[in-house]
Structure 1
Amino acid sequence: MNVVEWLYLYLAGIGLVSLAPGIFVVKKTGQAAGGFAVTLWVSLMLLIFLFRWFHSAASDIFMGTIPWIFNQVFVIGLYLLYILIIWFLLKKFSVRK
């Protein structure tokens, strides 16, 4: 696997890892906003680490080229879509309670 494939694999892992604390907070408190805040905070911290890793891992492959920029923009777009989906998912978990 190359660096770009690892980037998207780690992004999916970040989504799963950051969702678990959010669901836990929603189950304990019944508040979707609290669970969303926890999920957002955890996922943002992990996303920052992911970008730092990608910057160092991909620097010798295609630093400063268009694919490097496209990959980061695409990851940000996927992240925004993830945040939108998580908001509705956590609201659904809080309504069931």
Structure 2
Amino acid sequence: MAEWSERISSCRNSGISVKQWCQEHGIVEKTYYYWQRRVFQALTAQQEPYFARVPLERPNGRQEVAVTVRIGNAEADIYTGADAATIEAICRALKSC
């Protein structure tokens, strides 16, 4: 896994296409993508979800909870004015708990 992690990093930092990099290193492109998927899956499995409070600036200084979202045993307050990307990120984070 460590060897392939180094190879993938080398390819991604090479500035050339995966196809060209694989040709130069004698690696079948399909094999490269297989190992890239395995390395990324291993990295994802090692990461534990965490929550961080992100303060929102309000023009009038007020922060009003618009909705509390509960998914499973996790919950989060979403404040008035939260944008769609923030709400989506909160829901994804809650689903991962």
TM-score by length of 2: 0.34
In terms of fraction of residues, the more helix-rich structure is 1
In terms of fraction of residues, the more strand-rich structure is 2
Larger Rg, first or second structure (1 or 2):
2
TM-score by length of 1: 0.34
